[in-house]
Amino acid sequence: MLKLEIDSVNLEFDGRVILSDVYMYLESGVITGLAGRNGSGKSCLLKILSGSMQASYRFIRYNGSHIQNPASDPWLINYLPQENHLPGYLTLKDCIELYRIDEADSSRLQEICSVDPSVKLEGLSGGQRRLTEVCLCLFSPTKFTLLDEPFAHISPVKTELLCEELHQQKSKKSILVTDHQYRTVTDISDRVFLCYNGAVREIENLEDLRKSGYIPKK
Ligand SMILES: Nc1ncnc2c1ncn2[C@@H]1O[C@H](COP(=O)(O)OP(=O)(O)OP(=O)(O)O)[C@@H](O)[C@H]1O
């Protein structure tokens, strides 16, 4: 089993504390959900874990050993930001190469996205482009995949297909998902963390999300 831990995360912007002494962990074969109100620090935590944002302090361990920069190993973590980030002039075929996706997974990706490999990303609709960027991360052979709002702009039928694929892929890797479609996130996740008041803790059930004020009272 592979384990990635992030510990003692402190993040401030202009003296405003965003994350304080945060600990969270990811394990292979597991889908981890991350919930929390707007602005609670979820995206920042994913960026810090992926190595794309500096924190005032953070300590990352991979299988018990400290790692300085998670981004230095291209096979370790990939990260889907909240906004689409791939240049529009790339075709799906270019992206499949860039993400080192093998032939079998590439066929599956094209099936889910219903996109021709010769099409440029700029020629896709908002939802098609989002789904394509999500699937590229998911099918890429990294050990950990961090997905920030993978269900945004995606139709119900494609959301269901994507959830099925997340289940398939978790046998090969560890997946972290944060998204405000909290029912989808809690349904697919094996464990769920809540980002609240600068801290992150594991929750037991939807009632914990309700108590935190993240989801409405019944
Ligand atoms: N580069 C930055 N400079 C200043 N403040 C920032 C920066 N990036 C994030 N923040 C602030 O940090 C806080 C946490 O932001 P973050 O994007 O992590 O929230 P989030 O939980 O992902 O929210 P949402 O659910 O709305 O996407 C917010 O108050 C945001 O304004």
Complex ipTM, two decimals? 0.98
Give the mutation target among 42, 53, 148 for probing the ligand 1 site: most ligand atoms within 8 A of CB.
42
* Per-block mean pLDDT, blocks of 10 residues, the chain (218 long): 96 96 97 97 97 95 95 94 95 97 95 95 96 97 98 96 96 97 96 96 93 88
Question: What token pair was written down for 42?
Answer: 């979820």
Q: What's the gap in Å between 149 CA and the centre of ligand 1? A: 14
Q: What's the gap in Å between 114 CA and the centre of ligand 1? A: 33
Closest residue CA from atom 9 of ligand 1: 44
Q: What's the gap in Å between 44 CA and the centre of ligand 1? A: 6
* 174 ligand 1 Cβ < 6 A: no
Q: Which atom of ligand 1 is nearest to the CA of 47?
A: 18
* 145 ligand 1 Cβ < 6 A: no
* 44 ligand 1 Cβ < 6 A: yes
Q: Which pLDDT score, from 0 to 100, does residue 218 have? A: 74
Q: What's the gap in Å between 171 CA and the centre of ligand 1? A: 31
Sheet holding 144-148, edge to edge: 77-80, 144-148, 174-178, 31-36, 191-196, 199-203
* 38 ligand 1 Cβ < 6 A: yes
